[in-house]
Chain A
Amino acid sequence: MPGRLWGRLRALQSRGEMDGELEEELRYHLEREAELNVRDGMMPEEARRAALRAFGGVEQARELCREARGVRMLQDLWQDLRYGVRTLRKQPGFTLVAVLTLALGIGASTTIFSAVNPILFEPLPYPQADRLVMVLETADNGSRNPGTFGMYRGFAERSRSFDALAVYRTWLPAMSGAEYPERLEGQRVSAEYFRVLGMRPALGRDFQADDDRTGAPRVVIISDALWRSRFGGDPGIVGRPVTLDDNPYTVIGVMPGGFENVLAPSAGVWAPLQYDMSSASAWGHHLRTVGRLSSGVSVEQATREVDVVGHAVLDEQRPETYSPQTKFVVASLQEEVTGGVKPALLAVLSAVLLLLLISCVNVTNLLLARGAQRRGEFAMRAALGATRGRLVRQMLTESLLLALTGGALGLLAAQFGTGVLVALSPPELPRAGAIRVDAAAFAFAFGSAALVGLAVGLIPALHATRGDLREAVQQGSKRTAGGHQLTRRVFVVAEVALALVLLVGAGLLLRSMDRLFAVDPGFDASHLLTMQVQTSRRFDKEAAERFFARALEAVRRVPGVHTAGFTSQLPLSNDKDEYGARFEGDDPATAYNVFRYAVSPGYIETTGIPLRHGRTLEERDAAGSPPAILISESLARRRFPDQDPIGHRVHVGPVTGPGFTIVGVVGDVKQVSLASSPPDAVYITTAQWQFVDRTLSLVVRARGGAAALAPAVREAIWSVDKGQPIVRVATMDELLAASAAERRFASILFEVFGLAALALAAVGIYGVLSGSVTERAREIGVRLALGASRGHILALILRQGMMLTGIGVAVGLCGAVAASSVLVSLLFGVSRLDPSTYLSVVALLVAVSAAACWIPAWRAARVDPSITLRAE
């Protein structure tokens, strides 16, 4: 089918040109006929008309001429295809290697394309997705803060830039009813949330403003996946009651199966916020704002307006939680969701395209070698009247066949590959749900196969049909053989260079991973088991405290447990619990942004955070006792550079709360990631915090293996109260690894591509040298006959191969230096010009090349001069 299409396209393209000529030819004929008529005595006008009549149907003649060309072209191409298939089947070894190599390159590229397409190229899966934005606040120090409900109300009432505006936050309700309580992932949203996105429930109805009023009946919308997994796809789901966090809710709708929630991909349940403006948390920063711009409003215009409105609200209402320097910004949602990961993806895309290039070069070399061998065949066809263009077309058809077969195989491999990719991918990879082999990937695979087919076939086709083909009927024409050998060598040098670039990338990423994991997280991560325990809303503060205290006791009694403790946020696990801290005596506007850890006494010791000064939190820091707080080292150094922080007081959170007295200074801990600097942190006991922390993470230091203790520890907690969900069970080592997931993802891909490139380059070198040895068989025979030692021959061939490698390495080093700038954002602790990485890669490449050169060299040394000199 592609052959026909190609033929038609070509006929179309030169049609214009041929039509003009056809016209001229027919006109000439009519003029000659008219002349004859004039000579016979007709008037010129009549002569012309008579000529036309005598012609018969001119239009019909035109059509038939055009058809003759087109049909013939199609027939030619069909013939080319059949001949091509026959030829390829006669050389199964060559065909197999070529097809597999191309399948590797195209398959890998298609897989990466499927991952990259939803992020880099496609818009978000919502109607008019370019109108979707997020409204963000930046604090004085430039960091982003979550928004507040009060500000959202201000925007909703006063701003004119939006068609719809909504806020949301994470919601992790416990659903009861089954044997063990299950924790669901969901969002608490304002009523317009789905309207902002432009999606409607497939069953039931969307939220209305009434559902969002404080005290309104509790309703919930669920996802298609949740409907099928937990409710068996019950068609009567709308109106069904469900118990979440010990409260009764009614299901009012189910979102469609194709709905992709980019803001919270695994959310399965949504409920209205039902905010009360008079509540204290109305000005608490814990919501995110998303909106749909009105048509005609640009992001810049919206930003300006939103900043003005925001400051008007601040001036009027003067909430404590905002500093006057806050800036309000509107940013495209697509950019927010995908921006962070673009550099990594671009790096990976570059790597896979390099791999594709290498596989193309490999196949081009194969075709060059085959082309040289087939010159006799082409000479014969030329003698029978085939034009050079025809022969070139024949070879291009064959290379297209190879490429399209490779592409089809590659597409199959990509099906498998995308599955692997999704499994490997870091959890925060945006649009991971959209990674699949879809129509776009299909188009990419066949498009690139067609391009590849033409590209790899062109030079060999031109080479093989070059010069006077009659000469080529005699074997071993030196002049032409040299020409194609040179081209092959150039290609091998290119292959080696490209492989080097890829391997350098892989090497740099590997070293980055090493350096990253050598970073001190600020605590002792070994033998540490963690899990998150959630208590239901039934519990008031005392009940929660009691439960956690008893659970802790039970856990400490489990054999194999050394120490244990609770904390409200766990390092390196995506928890970001930030508050404003104001030290006594400071201007209230100068608040520090700190991470707040509400812990059980003993947490600091369990995690192994070093105590720098003063004391840690103890049992005596309970409710009723003077509130005590620990601050982190770097915070102490900044705020109290020449003083002793112990004894000073600080307010954390709402100003109405109690002041805490600093009793100790502890070491810094990496919370967000190993690569970023540790944030300012404060530690208080859960008992002394005025609100209740319903979800705490348990940290257990095991005497032996941490993972093995998990079931026993879970049972211990459930022995106290069975109704509380336990999730996110992981050892600290696993969390550490997961925190670097994005880098690791890129690193793994680079390693795989690098190794594939190395293998291809080795095969390429082997192929070229083999071919060289075969062609020089006579020369080698002569040398041996004249007394050269076999060792000398070996060295000769090896030197030839290693020289190719050497040039390739030199070129590749320049390329790697240039290309490594693509990787800079992924590197950590390693310069992109790191000499030891480059040296190791060069050494590896040289070693592998030497191995690839060995076999042809050895074969050359074993040539029997008597045989080669006889064969003419």
Chain B
Amino acid sequence: MNPHKKSDLLKQGTLELLVLRLLRAGTLNGWDIMQRIRVASGDVLSVTPGALYPALHRLEARGLVSAVWAASENNRRAKLYELTRAGGKQLEAERDIWERFAGAVEAILRDA
């Protein structure tokens, strides 16, 4: 288990990167995305709904994801998000940036 407090201060840009990556694997609704981030990060990262939903809406407004309404169990309607082609390209670009950033930080930490 992690002795530190769960880090729930994901920066906006990083959050969007993670969302895009998750959506590449499949179409998800907001609740599922929140769970996935927690589970896939081994409980290190979690995001509040108050940050996630605005992020999803921003992505949708930019055309990087598109929304689809589907009936789920109990006759509820859930809003599902899927990655668009533009989103896929954006994911690649953001991932490059992240890797270069992470690499640079790692480089300094190693050598300094």
Mark A residues whose CB is within 8 Å of B: 21, 24-26, 28-29, 31-33, 54-58, 60-61, 64-65, 67-69, 72-73, 384-387, 390
Contact = CB atoms under 8 A, between A and B. Distances in A.
A756 B71 CA distance: 61
Contact of A56 (B30, B49, B78, B86): B49
A29 B58 contact: no
B85 A56 contact: no
Given A57-B50, A61-B49, A68-B58, A28 B84 contact: no
Given A56-B48, A60-B50, A24 B63 contact: no
Contacts of B79: 21, 24-25, 28
Contact of A29 (B49, B61, B84, B86): B49
A61 B54 CA distance: 7
Contact of B89 (A24, A26, A55, A385): A385
Interface in B53-69: 53-54, 57-58, 61-63, 69
Contacts of B58: 68, 72
Given A56-B48, A385-B89, A25 B30 contact: yes
Contacts of B89: 384-385
A549 to B, nearest CB: 94
Given A28-B77, A33-B31, A55-B48, A385 B85 contact: yes
Contact of A387 (B29, B53, B63): B63
B50 A61 contact: yes
Interface in B38-94: 48-50, 53-54, 57-58, 61-63, 69, 72, 76-79, 84-86, 89
Contacts of A25: 29-30, 53, 78-79
A28 B61 contact: no
Interface in B10-44: 29-31, 34
A26 B49 CA distance: 9
Contacts of A33: 31
A62 to B, nearest CB: 8
A72 to B, nearest CB: 4
A48 to B, nearest CB: 15
Contacts, number: 69
Contact of A31 (B34, B50, B76): B76
A29 B31 contact: yes
B50 A32 contact: no
Contacts of B72: 28
A65 B54 contact: yes
B86 A64 contact: no
A112 B49 CA distance: 59
A68 B61 contact: yes
Contacts of A57: 50
A68 B58 CA distance: 5
A33 B38 CA distance: 14
A64 B55 CA distance: 9
A31 B77 CA distance: 12
B67 to A, nearest CB: 8
A386 B61 CA distance: 12
B48 A28 contact: no
Shortest 9 CB-CB contacts between residues of A and residues of B: A385-B86, A64-B54, A72-B61, A56-B50, A68-B58, A68-B57, A61-B50, A65-B57, A25-B79
Contacts of B53: 25-26, 29, 61, 64-65
A385 B29 CA distance: 22
B57 A69 contact: yes
Nearest to B87: A385
A21 B76 CA distance: 12
Contacts of A29: 30-31, 34, 49, 53
Nearest to A63: B54
19 contacts: A21-B69, A21-B79, A24-B77, A25-B53, A26-B53, A28-B29, A28-B30, A28-B31, A28-B79, A29-B30, A29-B34, A29-B49, A33-B31, A56-B48, A60-B50, A61-B50, A67-B54, A68-B54, A384-B89
A364 to B, nearest CB: 29
A50 to B, nearest CB: 13
A64 B76 contact: no
